[in-house]
Amino acid sequence: MQIFKNGKIHSFNSENAIYEAIAVENGRIAALGNTEDVLEEFKKRDDKEVIDLKGKTVVPGFNDSHVHFMNYGYTEKKIRLNECRSIEELITLGKKTLPYGSWILGRGWNQDLFSGEKRMPEKSDLDKISEDIPVCYTRACGHVAVINSKAMELCGITPETKCFGGDIDYDKGIFTENALYLVYSHISKLSLEEMKNIILETQEKFLAMGITSVQTDDFESFPDKDFKKVIQAYEELDREGKLKIRVYEQGLMPTKDRIKELAEYKYFTGTGGERFKMGPIKLLLDGSLGGKTALLQLPYEGEKNNRGVVTYTQEEFNEIVEYADSMGYQIAVHAIGDGAIKMAVDSFEKLPNLNRKRHGIVHCQLTTAELIDRIKKLDIITYIQPIFLDYDLHIVEDRIGYERSLESYAWKTMLDKKIKLSFGSDAPVDSADVVKAIHCAVNRQDMNFYPKDGWLPNEKISVEEAVRCYTVNSAYASFEEEIKGSLEVGKLGDFVVLDRDIFSIDKSEILSTKIDSTVIGGEILYINN
């Protein structure tokens, strides 16, 4: 038994009660109250360990509602291109790097951050890295990639190669959306042990950020897209007692045949245990705002022929959504642009008993008032990434114009309408750091505190609302509100200790908040030394 005393424990229960002490036994919360009473209740227990919180603030464990957990670790094995500010830097890093497997792989470039020429890298640029080794550089968003001539040859790409739901620029070597798989399928596979090691390495990084649960899209993170191997990696680590973080799998299954294969494997929403279980079927409708592949209802600003990329026709999408729903799966749809969001809503609208399934829209960025009202009416969950504002607030108006931007990233509006917002990161697309995300949600600023009064400040939310979206609401999104999300007797003993009271400090100081320790099932798994 563990007893944590002398804290300021924000339970986030229905009364928002604050306690001084919390007792955890066999991984579950056994008691909450003032320090004196909790210690008195268990004074005869010889097996108890008492930990002094020394007045620090405690909140429920953070639950990242949409992340690419294994891809985060996989990306760490590649060249990190996030800090590159020119195509020349991309080339220089590539020349210095040994292949991972038989390819030179990198991820994280963003042409909007380049000084000077703000264009995407091209095949001719990557040819300067190597003419003999295949090179693939994926954009930060994960929806665009560029490859060199050797990779084009290896993948059998010709000027005649076509792909529905994705674009191929043969001359520039640039691929988007579904076309990415024409490249990724040729990259070296990972062994089961390599995948398990990636999970363990990533787990340590997430624990240091106070994240105790993840809802993660892993099934197509690796070249072979072997979902059975992903499940096996998690299940083996769980049996070995090494999987500490709690995982709810958002399995990307883009076709009916793939969903059928998962069903025949007897994995449905809810299958599994407290450490690893199957969640929704993930479906991908459009791309990214940064890559101009998010699907819009109207063209991108200044580009009358570009509305983005769509991966299904409406009819195809309706069919796969109806099928997944009929098989009993929860569904989470990647939709960034208002065109994709409308497609998702149109499709969900046709389903029976929608509320029971807790279907949702991932990202849900470029909204309209009409779409928000329809989302509310259908009780659709939204999986939101506040950290996106760090970059997006600088490009939204450039992409869609001022007028359309006014109804976007409308989190306060959604909360006021009682829409269920669950917060996450989409890492490695962006940082998984929860504190940074809370800063973005509360202050509507980037990491440099720009703009001074916040971008669309009417959409600012409170610290309490932000934390609730990362805890209570995320638990609801995974049908786990009875066991996590708030600190109550009988629920899992998962919580985070902060180095300051994030609820009372000046909002400008949120970014300075540090994770003091992370606790899962009463076990202290991270301590900030």
pLDDT tens, 72-95? 999 888 999 999 999 999 999 999
Under 8 Å between Cβ of 502 and 62: no
Which domains, ranges and CATH numbers included, belong to the chain? 2-61+488-527 (2.30.40.10), 102-184 (3.10.310.70), 285-461 (3.20.20.140)
Residue that is written with structure tokens 């983005």 in the block: 308
Distance of alpha carbon 197 from alpha carbon 502, whole angstroms: 34
188 C-beta neighbours (distance < 10 Å), count = 13
- pLDDT at position 164 is 82
377 C-beta neighbours (distance < 10 Å), count = 11
Residue 147 corresponds to which tokens in the numbers above?
């490859």
Distance of alpha carbon 439 from alpha carbon 389, whole angstroms: 10
Distance of alpha carbon 9 from alpha carbon 57, whole angstroms: 6
Under 8 Å between Cβ of 279 and 330: yes
Mind listing the pLDDT tens digit for each residue in 289-307? 998 999 999 999 999 999 9
- pLDDT at position 375 is 97
The closest of 147, 148, 149 to 139, measured between CA atoms, is 147
Distance of alpha carbon 464 from alpha carbon 256, whole angstroms: 40
How do strand 79-80 and strand 104-109 relate by DSSP bridges? Answer: parallel
Q: Alpha-carbon dihedral of residues 406, 411, 414, 416, nearest 10 degrees?
A: -100
Can you say how many angstroms the Cα of residue 304 is from the centroid of all Cα atoms in its chain?
31
Distance of alpha carbon 138 from alpha carbon 75, whole angstroms: 10
CA atoms within 13 A on the CB side of 215: 34
Can you say how many angstroms the Cα of residue 115 is from the centroid of all Cα atoms in its chain?
28
Can you say how many angstroms the Cα of residue 97 is from the centroid of all Cα atoms in its chain?
28
Q: Is the pLDDT of residue 354 over 80?
A: no
Confidence of residue 355 (pLDDT cuts 50, 70, 90): low
CA atoms within 13 A on the CB side of 164: 4
Element (H, E) at 41: helix 35-41
Element (H, E) at 92: helix 87-96
Q: Is the pLDDT of residue 495 over 70?
A: yes
Residues 6 or more apart whose CB falls under 8 angstroms from that of 24 comprise 1, 2, 3, 4, 30, 493, 519, 521, 522
Residue 527 corresponds to which tokens in the numbers above?
């301590």
Under 8 Å between Cβ of 390 and 286: no
What is the crossing angle of helices 338-348 and 314-326, to 10°? Answer: 50
- pLDDT at position 77 is 86
Mind listing the pLDDT tens digit for each residue in 48-81? 999 999 999 999 999 999 999 999 999 888 999 9
2-19 b/e (C-beta count within 10 Å ≥ 16 → b)? bbbbbbbbbbbbeeeeeb
What is the crossing angle of helices 192-207 and 69-76, to 10°? Answer: 100
504 C-beta neighbours (distance < 10 Å), count = 9
Under 8 Å between Cβ of 151 and 145: no
Residue 45 corresponds to which tokens in the numbers above?
């227990």
Can you say how many angstroms the Cα of residue 375 is from the centroid of all Cα atoms in its chain?
20
Taking all residues of the chain, what is their mean pLDDT, rounded to a whole number? 96
- pLDDT at position 405 is 97
Alpha carbon of 93 to those of 73, 101, 150: distances in Å?
A: 20, 17, 18
Preceding omega of 121 cis (within 30 degrees of 0): no
Q: Could you tell me what percent of the chain has a pLDDT over 70?
A: 100
- pLDDT at position 178 is 87
Under 8 Å between Cβ of 8 and 505: no
313 C-beta neighbours (distance < 10 Å), count = 12
Global pTM value: 0.92
Confidence of residue 276 (pLDDT cuts 50, 70, 90): very high
Amino acid in position 207:
L
Residue that is written with structure tokens 């000084």 in the block: 115
Residue 170 corresponds to which tokens in the numbers above?
């043969």
Mind listing the pLDDT tens digit for each residue in 426-444? 999 999 999 999 999 999 9
Residues 6 or more apart whose CB falls under 8 angstroms from that of 342 comprise 297, 371
